[in-house]
Structure 1
Amino acid sequence: MLSNTQRTTIKKGQHKAVFEREKLHAIIDESLIAHIAIEGESGPVVIPMLAWRVDEHVYIHGANNSRLMRKLKTGAQTCLTFTLFDGWVLARSAFHHSAHYRSAVVFGQFDEVENKQDKDRLLNHFIEQIAPGRTDEVRLSNDKELAATTLLKIPLEEASVKISNNDVSDDKEDLDLPVWAGYIPYQTKVGPLKPIAEIADTLTTPDYSCAYGNRWKAAK
């Protein structure tokens, strides 16, 4: 079960709150993009970052001189949001138009992963998550590249999840209006792979479809 704190208590749309930890994991794993809030020199700023989960931590990486990395390394409190948009809900009245979505919010502080072997392993885990088997084929990061990269992790100790997948919610007096009502589903498709021009014809196209399930779009 997810934590129940003052920051994770959902006040608006409480019926959309979900408390299964597996739902949190699924949203993070599918999204892979976190919008991260920091207090900058000129005020609040939210920066989108690639993010991935290993067990009960979320990881992000960036250049050592990144303002986001430098700020988060100090232990500053932050908030991460993950959002998956699933479609529009079209009601008979303008007021009740809505959307289907899955969202997660994570609160806490980042810690730096400093051990070189751990850093290498966790960065490679991300590559494997998006392209299974690829770390067996590519040149792996060298010491210079690892030293130039900051890797941070945040625990999934304080988080909330909202899922909106309800039916059209029209007022009773609007049900007889001659207006079409329903949904516009929104789906993210992945693939097929597109090689760069310099790829040799002798190289076999890899298969990464197992990482994406029914979101994978096969080549025609």
Structure 2
Amino acid sequence: MAEYSISNLNKVVRGSKRATYDVETIHTILDDGFLCHIAYVYNHQAIVIPTAYARKGDKIYIHGSLKNRMMLSLLEAGTASISVTHLDGLVLARSAFHHSANYRSVNIFGTVKKVEDPIEKMEALKYVLNHMIPGHWDNVRQPNEKEFNATLVLEIHIETASAKIRAEGVVDDKDDYNSSIWAGVVPIKQVAYDPISDEQLPENTKIPEEVLRYVSKNKS
């Protein structure tokens, strides 16, 4: 079982019993998401921005405009810190102090480079779109030359990472278990609803099978 080595950078200090450095577990958490949060510094100010991403092996791809200040700041720094979190439940304890949440989270630390090769760049854009809806790239008009040239694609190589997972019930103080206060877990899941077709579509335009398959898979 491959693991990322533990260092001062990726070591989970608080709640270390919930930490894992297992590569496969971390990749699975990444693949279950589409939005990440990226930290960067601009004009001596720390900023965190949500953005779409896709994983291919030990690489994360993101994209933006050529003048995007986050992208340019990451390129200048040469390193990046990325966070992905899934909220799986609200843990409602007997006491206010022990309220918590069930979650799966990952922190990634990596090196940044601009994707220059046109074939690799187009592949990265394909990965990002297909990470949203698997197989949907073949259903859309792909970027034209103007759009392609106006897009900056960055590759973040995962140097190290860690995950933290809570998947359990209420943990209360021993004395509180005799109280009549309700406690339990409210499970939370992101779900998809039926697609709403654009009003300006030509009549009888069919919803792609890939979209219907995604909705069916994520409906409940």
Fold-level similarity (TM above 0.5): yes
Q: 2:218 matched to 1:215?
A: yes
Q: Quote how far apart the aligned CAs of 1:76 are.
A: 3.4
Unpaired runs of at least 5, structure 1:
none
- Alignment partner for residue 195 of structure 1, among 194, 197, 200? 197
Given that residues 3 and 160 in structure 1 are in contact (C-alpha distance below 8 angstroms), is that contact kept between their aligned partners in structure 2? Answer: no
CA distance in 1, matches of 2:54, 2:137: 16
Deviations 1:38-85 (A, max 9, x none): 111041111111111111111110000111111112243331111111
Specify the code of the residue in structure 1 equivalent to 2:54: W
Residues 17-28 of structure 1 mapped to structure 2, 5 A cutoff = 17-28=19-30
TM-score norm. by structure 1 comes to 0.91
CA distance in 2, matches of 1:17, 1:204: 45
1:54 match: 56
Percent identity over paired residues: 33
Structure 1 segments of 4+ aligned residues over 3 angstroms from their partners: 209-214
TM-score norm. by structure 2 comes to 0.91
Deviations 1:78-112 (A, max 9, x none): 31111111111111111111111111001122111
Q: Quote how far apart the aligned CAs of 1:30 are.
A: 1.9
Specify the code of the residue in structure 2 equivalent to 1:174: D
Aligned in 2, Cα 1:212/1:195: closer, same or farther, shift over 3 Å? closer
Given that residues 109 and 154 in structure 1 are in contact (C-alpha distance below 8 angstroms), is that contact kept between their aligned partners in structure 2? Answer: yes
Residues 20-99 of structure 1 mapped to structure 2, 5 A cutoff = 20-99=22-101
Q: Quote how far apart the aligned CAs of 1:211 are.
A: 4.7
Given that residues 130 and 211 in structure 1 are in contact (C-alpha distance below 8 angstroms), is that contact kept between their aligned partners in structure 2? Answer: no
Q: Quote how far apart the aligned CAs of 1:209 are.
A: 5.0
Q: Quote how far apart the aligned CAs of 1:20 are.
A: 2.0
CA distance in 1, matches of 2:214, 2:61: 19
Specify the code of the residue in structure 1 equivalent to 2:151: T
Q: Quote how far apart the aligned CAs of 1:31 are.
A: 1.9
2:177 match: 175
Q: Secondary structure at the match of 1:35?
A: strand
Unpaired runs of at least 5, structure 2:
none
